[in-house]
Amino acid sequence: MLYDDVAGIISEAKKKLGDDYDKYHQDIENLCNLASATNKISDINKLLVLVDKTLLSHMLSRDGSDRICELIPEYSEKMSATDLKISESLWGMIGFYYRLQTKYHDAINIYNTHYNYLCKRSLSTEEEWFAKSTPLVWMYDCFNLIGFRSIAKRFIMLTLIEDAIAHEGIIKPTSGVYPRLVKPIEFSESLVNKFGEQAYKCFCECDNDLKYFPEWILQNIDNDWLDEIPNNNEYRVYIQNGEYLKYIMGLIDDLKKTKSKRKINLRGDLLEYVAQYLLMCMPGNRVDRKVKTKSSEIDVLCSVEGYEVDFRSELGRYIICECKEWEKKANIDVMAKFCYFLVATKCKLGILFTREGVSGDDLEVEKWAKREQLKFYQSSGVVVLEIKEDDIRKVIDGKSFYEILMKKYEIARLDLEDKPQAKKKKKLLVNRAFK
């Protein structure tokens, strides 16, 4: 009876794998058992119709999800020439295959790679805008299933933005995002409509390609939705849209070619967007830009909410960021002024975002902001971290900004060597009795 139920899966697998079927015989048998146990035989059959031999063999391999992610841009480009829905169905079904096995991180990896491809394509296509909400809502489902509700909420808000643009500010009760917001997250209908209207207004008022990124719109609407406390396992999970960061850094590079004051100010504003985005992708952070005080303006203000489980627990609730989009290194005057502001606000951690870093990195004989950074920590216990363009490029390439910050905190606090040292060859100690 079981064979009759899964005969279609076996037949399609033989057709796709050909002579390699015997190699994956046990894996196909496991797939049939999985389909039968989860009552998803028809879905697995649909999946096998969509995939080719290469994708199927990767699916049946233990490390296949990483290889599939490498192929997503190439396959999507071929299929998108005819219809985006085809590639959307393919990666959705492959992700669904991993979700059936509770391999949620593999599914998230596939969905996120597909989403990044869609963001990149939206900048190069002649179409004005197309929806990217499907992989976003799938990522929400996966994060929600593994209990990462804080990260899940960010992705459902990105989905809401995409739906709001598609329906001109109206979030329909029949859309996929509406029941996920109103029931499990307990958003009121008025709050859902408020965010939808704000998102669509922001999209319409933007006159450049930044509007194609829902992350940019999320940074420009109210952050009342940030009320979810991360769990202990969620704090170190960092997932970002590399295409979004790459695009903003490209805009900054283009603006460097002109010397007008307006362009210089715009470069600074874009760096503030980068700083805000890098911090808001860390679970437990609520981040605002251009926060005005009675005497000055804070470029980026981050408040840490939730349980104290990582290095942020040593530093209090608030993190203040200063952004200097200069073509030269930030000098001791910038460092001293920033340090004084941190002391005045009783803030224990500040982050200085610069393009070239601070003076003193290369043993310069001029003013050393680097030494001031160390002396300031020793005298007041306040830590100042510097984030350079190289660090942002590392995040674009996939490195966790959380790990970068934690490493820089250790360097600043313990006065460790910043540059990696060549490993010395250890001498092998041999007992003289055996000589």
> Considering only 135-144, 207-216, 257-266, which range has the smallest mean pLDDT?
257-266
- Whole-structure pTM value: 0.87
Please report where in the chains the tokens 């999320």 appear, as a residue.
218
Confidence band (pLDDT; 50, 70, 90) for 425?
low
Given a contact cutoff of 8 angstroms between Cβ atoms, the answer to whether 202 and 221 are in contact is: yes
Where is pLDDT greater, at 253 or 311? 253
**Alpha-carbon gap, residue 165 to 204, rounded angstroms:** 9
Q: How many distinct structural domains can be found in the chain?
A: 1
Rounded percentage of the chain residues whose pLDDT exceeds 90 = 37
pLDDT at residue number 48: 86
Confirm whether 193 is domain-assigned: no
Confirm whether 88 is domain-assigned: no
Where is pLDDT greater, at 220 or 293? 220
46-69 residue pLDDT tens? 888 888 999 999 998 888 899 999
Confirm whether 229 is domain-assigned: no
Where is pLDDT greater, at 422 or 195? 195
Given a contact cutoff of 8 angstroms between Cβ atoms, the answer to whether 96 and 47 are in contact is: yes
Q: What is the CATH number of the domain that holds 390?
A: 3.40.1350.10
For residues 304-328, average pLDDT: 79
Residue 180, pLDDT > 70, answer yes
Confidence band (pLDDT; 50, 70, 90) for 7?
confident
Confirm whether 207 is domain-assigned: no
Confidence band (pLDDT; 50, 70, 90) for 333?
confident
Given a contact cutoff of 8 angstroms between Cβ atoms, the answer to whether 193 and 201 are in contact is: no
CA torsion angle for 237, 239, 245, 247 (degrees, to 10)?
Answer: 170
Confirm whether 228 is domain-assigned: no
Confidence band (pLDDT; 50, 70, 90) for 5?
low
Residue 291, pLDDT > 60, answer yes
Where is pLDDT greater, at 415 or 224? 224
Largest CA distance in the chain: 83
Mean pLDDT of the chain: 84
Confidence band (pLDDT; 50, 70, 90) for 372?
low
* Domain enclosing residue 257, as ranges: 240-435
Confirm whether 205 is domain-assigned: no
**Alpha-carbon gap, residue 203 to 198, rounded angstroms:** 9
Residue 317, pLDDT > 90, answer no
Confirm whether 165 is domain-assigned: no
* Cβ partners under 8 Å of residue 188, min gap 6: 182
Confirm whether 194 is domain-assigned: no
Q: In what order do the strands lie in the sheet with 318-324?
A: 285-292, 297-304, 318-324, 349-354, 383-387
pLDDT at residue number 369: 63
pLDDT at residue number 137: 94
Instruction: For residue 236, count CB atoms less than 10 angstroms from its CB and return exposed for 0-12, middle for 13-18, buried for 19 or more.
Output: middle
Looking from the CA of 175 toward its CB, the CA atoms found within 13 Å total 25
